[in-house]
Amino acid sequence: MIIYNPQKFIEKMLEDYKNNLGNKEIDKKENIARSFAINAAIKSGQTLSHEEMTLLIDRLFACTNPYHSPNGKPVFLTIHQSEIDKKFD
């Protein structure tokens, strides 16, 4: 992970941390971890090399919960062939 602007990264991380303080379901350590993960994440539209993509997938499936992002959003969906066939029928 390369942080191009450390000051902006820390400021945004602290802002996200403060915004999550109202959520009583998240303890302080998890809040910090989520804030870090969200701000260190690869942003939509960012171009990756083949090696970076492979490393990212390997790291994803090494996680204890590879199915959800730190926000609880799904990381990927499974679309069955029958669903694809219906869309292109």
Per-domain residue ranges for the chain? 6-87
Q: Which residue has the tokens 């450390």?
A: 6
83 exposed, middle or buried (CB, 10 Å; 0-12, 13-18, 19+)? exposed
Is residue 68 predicted with pLDDT exceeding 70?
yes
pTM over 0.75: no
Q: What is the pLDDT of residues 22-44, one digit of tens each?
A: 887 888 888 888 888 888 888 88
State the Cα–Cα distance between residues 27 and 2, nearest whole angstrom. 27
7 exposed, middle or buried (CB, 10 Å; 0-12, 13-18, 19+)? exposed
CATH for 6-87, options being 3.40.50, 2.40.50, 3.20.190, 3.30.1540: 3.30.1540
